[in-house]
Amino acid sequence: MQRTLQRAFRRANLPLAYTNGYNPHPKLSFATALATGFSSDGEWVEVEMAQEMDPAEWMDRANAAVPNGMRFVTAFVADASIDTLSKMLCSARYTITLHPEEPVARARVEQALSDLLESKEIIVQKKTKSGVKPTDIRPEIIEAFVLDGSEDPVRIELLGSLTVAGGLRVETFLHALLERIGVSGFASVHRNALYFTGSDRLPHLS
């Protein structure tokens, strides 16, 4: 994704700021990574410019150069005092579409999800730098519920913590839920939004 934007910004002839050194590259960074296979319409990126530029003109030129399926919907000039996106990031919202190997009624999913959220702990095996270890993900789940009108397939809305230090991995939540339902399968995951602290210009939880 980073290389895609770099090429698009060069095509758009945007006055980007570059790093120093033997192999300079544009100063741009995403708030957080998006897991392979996930779709999204809520990503944020910070781009350092070499000169001032009107945000509306910046978006027009950038959108004319990015590939189909990608589009910038808002942009603003950040105050000098604002922190980096990654440091202000606090949570993310997802829509999970379940694809179980066998038919599962909505009521069964709702009951399993309710039982899961009522648990004091949700222990999963999590990969860390020191190896795989049991981890309680319950504190990382802010809210989760089955979406109205979703029957086949069943869709779940999930809000989880996400910071520069880590956060909820949707894959581990999904594994725990499918285990509680008692089925195998996979899911399509779409990230709807990222939420931040420290700036009213960015999406934030009320």
Q: Domain extents for the chain?
A: 1-77, 87-196
Judged by phi (left if over 0) then psi (alpha if -120 to 50, else beta), residue 149 lies in left
Encode pLDDT of 111-121 as tens digits: 999 999 999 99
CA distances from 144 to 94, 109, 113 (A): 9, 12, 8
Residues 56-96 pLDDT 10s? 999 999 999 999 999 999 999 998 888 999 999 999 999 99
What is the per-residue pLDDT across 24-52, written as a single tens digit (0 to 9) for each?
Answer: 889 999 999 999 999 999 999 999 999 99
Residues 6+ apart with CB under 8 A from 148: none
pTM greater than the 0.75 cutoff: yes
- The pLDDT, as a whole number, for residue 66 is 95
Superfamily classification of domain 87-196: Pseudouridine synthase (3.30.2350.10)
